[in-house]
Structure 1
Amino acid sequence: MTAAPTLHFCADPGEFLADAEAYLAADPVVGTVVASVTRRMAARRAEGVALPEDVWWLVVRDAAGAVVGVAMRTAPFPPRPPFLLPMPREAATALAEAWHQRGERVRAVNGALPAARACADEVARLDGGRVAVAQHTRLHLLDRLTPPAPVPGALRAATTDDIDLVTAWFGAFTADADEQAGRPRGASAHETPDRAELLHRIRDGRVWFWTDESGAPVHLTAANPPSFGVARVGPVYTPPGQRGRGWAGNAVAEVSRRLTAEGARVCLFTDQANPVSNRLYARLGFRPVVDMVNLVLVD
């Protein structure tokens, strides 16, 4: 009989990275969310910022001690969904059983398929409810950049003087994305970084505007700093009155060119229910890597 996988929870992002670094580095594209979020939280902790007491990271090991999966629960927004990377099915179900035994109420699970679905199904079996899909997402990697037709204007880095507009557009991104995908506005639970975090990103040079010929911002594209050589673009936001003019394609292409020039591979997520953005990124040269999902437990 094959030994069951072992689950090791920890509350220290540095401890988690020490255990999981080689695993994340082996597939840094699929691991982009876990790597970037964990490194950001480790950096904030080093700066003296206290992390919430109930966040955790997980390392899954097989019988030989090899890491075969990781997960985290760091989302500050309700229902605070854990995020799973690919792992054996028995590990995904064991994770649900561990939550049940710990008395940890989980009513949403995000992450890679099929692990996220197996985990959510086990949560439903143990704690009741049924599993519903809130959003299907797809992770894409830039293969070879194909620049779009040029449009007037230029890319410029946001400055701290732009913080109010950056905050507003980050906040509008999720609601507008829901609407574009045919969901009610605000249907998707999503983290909007606070002002302090956005200032960090601006100072790091990871937030850009596309400006029109008059110099006015008409679009925002942001990116995460590279983790294990992979930089993730997002959010990508154009206000409703500025859509259909090519701002997004040109901004994402130029940001991707700059990130590639820094030596990073570039990835991004799309909402599978939004055909406009999926077609745009395919034309730019992004290719699908893995399907992910946001699941909710409906009582």
Structure 2
Amino acid sequence: MAHVEFFDDPGSFLDAAGSHLQQDPVLTTVVSSVSHQLLAADRRGETRGEHPRWWAVVREGDDVGGVAMRTAPFAPYWLYVLSMPETAARALARAVLDRGETVTAVNGALVASGHVADEISRATGGGVKIHEHMRLWEVTEVVAPELPAGLLRQARSEDVDLAVTWWNGFAVEAAEQAGSEPLQEGESMEADEMARRIDEGLIWVWEDQGHVVHLTAHNPPSFGVARVGPVYTPREARGRGYASAAVAAVSRRLLDEGVRACLFTDQANPTSNKIYEAIGYRPVEDMVNLVIR
């Protein structure tokens, strides 16, 4: 029988699940990176929000069968579920409902998320609808694209305001390109947080003739894996190869530093999928965003 243990503290969760997460750090990149980022925020003394914030380890016997988390600070406060056996996924769903929580969205690994959403919908009488089919990609050898005019550079303090605007506009415009609506409200990037990421060397821009025309970011490595994104080019600068060149260069830098590089795409967005495959990214696993109503 599967047993679910919940954690309110990212450090305790990482102590319990770290070895499991490290078995395949690309597949577990979101849980690992979010956990490490929130652990760092706690250590900086940042205030926790009022939203649900927990991690779960599902054990079958003494072994960790899977992990999940609910940490998004914005509606619909979705569950993020990694691969696990069906028995573990359904036990997780029942345990969440037993906590008295309302769940209207689940995302993560395709099969496991489906089992969790199905179990919740059975209990609540709702139906499950696919909102997005996502795909996780990894690159091990970058294929250099044709370079556009300009150059890649690390973002600087004078780029903060523009970077904040583009970061906050990314989700809406990405959904438009895929012909869908954003699933979530989205967490607004603030200037002080962007400045911190710039100081840490996590934000890159492409500059052409003195103008910043593109932004590519990545998260700090967790268990040796960095996730690239968001990748944003404003409408007026698209179609000139900036995204391909920037993502290729940033990915190559990560690989040269001994860090594995991965990213997510919406399968309904043919442009981004084509770009990343052309520079060497290869599919790892299909993911899904599910809505329960």
TM-score bracket, normalised by the shorter chain, equals over 0.9
Residues 25-44 of structure 1 mapped to structure 2, 5 A cutoff: 25-44=22-41
Task: Give the superposition deviation at 1:187.
Answer: 4.8
1:13 counterpart (1, 6, 10): 10
- The letter for the 2-side match of 1:222 is A
- Partner SS state of residue 281, structure 1: helix
Provide the residue aligned with 1:246 in structure 2.
241
Map 1:233-272 to 2 at 5 A.
Answer: 233-272=228-267
Contact 1:209 1:217 in 2 (8 A): yes
- Asked if 1:61 corresponds to 2:59, the answer is yes
Report how far residue 14 of structure 1 moved. Answer: 0.3
Q: 1:119 to 1:187 in 2, by over 3 A?
A: closer
Check if 1:110 corresponds to 2:111. Answer: no
Shift of 1:190: 3.8
1:177 matched to 2:188? The reply is no
- How far apart are the structure 2 equivalents of 1:90 and 1:191? 33
Paired residues, number: 292
Name the SS of the counterpart of 1:92 in structure 2.
Answer: helix
Selected match of 1:196 from 192, 197, 207? 192
Q: CA deviation at 1:82?
A: 1.0
Contact persistence 1:223–1:232 (CA under 8 A):
yes
CA distance in structure 1 between the partners assigned to 2:24 and 2:183 by the alignment: 31
Conserved 8 A contact 1:156-1:210: yes
Secondary structure of the equivalent of 1:225?
coil
Matches within 5 A, 1:1-299: 4-52=1-49, 54-63=52-61, 65-184=62-181, 186-212=182-208, 214-298=209-293
Instruction: Give the C-alpha shift of residue 200 in structure 1.
Output: 2.0
What is the alpha-carbon distance in structure 2 between the residues aligned to residue 289 and residue 180 of structure 1?
Answer: 23
Shift of 1:243: 0.5
Shift in CA distance, 111/190, structure 1 to aligned 2, threshold 3 Å: farther
Determine the C-alpha separation between the residues in 2 that align with 1:106 and 1:119: 10
Shift of 1:199: 2.2
Secondary structure of 1:41's aligned partner: helix
The share of aligned pairs that are identical, in percent, is: 51
Q: Distance in 2 between the 1:231 and 1:240 partners?
A: 27
Q: Runs of 5+ in structure 2 lacking a partner? A: none
Q: 1:160 Cα shift?
A: 2.3
User: Residue 68 of structure 1: CA displacement?
Assistant: 1.6
| Aligned Cα root-mean-square deviation (Å) | 1.2
Gaps of 5+ in 1: none
Question: Matched residue of 2:291: which SS?
Answer: strand
1:196 counterpart letter in structure 2: D
**Displacement of 1:215:** 1.9
With the length of structure 1 as denominator, give the TM-score of the two structures: 0.95
**How much does 1:161 deviate?**
2.2
Distance apart, 1:31 and its partner CA: 0.5
When residues 22 and 89 of structure 1 are mapped into structure 2, their CA distance, relative to the original with a 3 A threshold, is same
Partner amino acid, structure 1, of 2:156: T
Q: Give the secondary-structure state (helix, strand or coil) at the position aligned to 2:255.
A: helix
Q: Counterpart of 2:261 in 1: which secondary structure?
A: strand
**TM-score normalised over the length of structure 2:** 0.97
Q: Counterpart of 1:114 in 2: which secondary structure?
A: helix
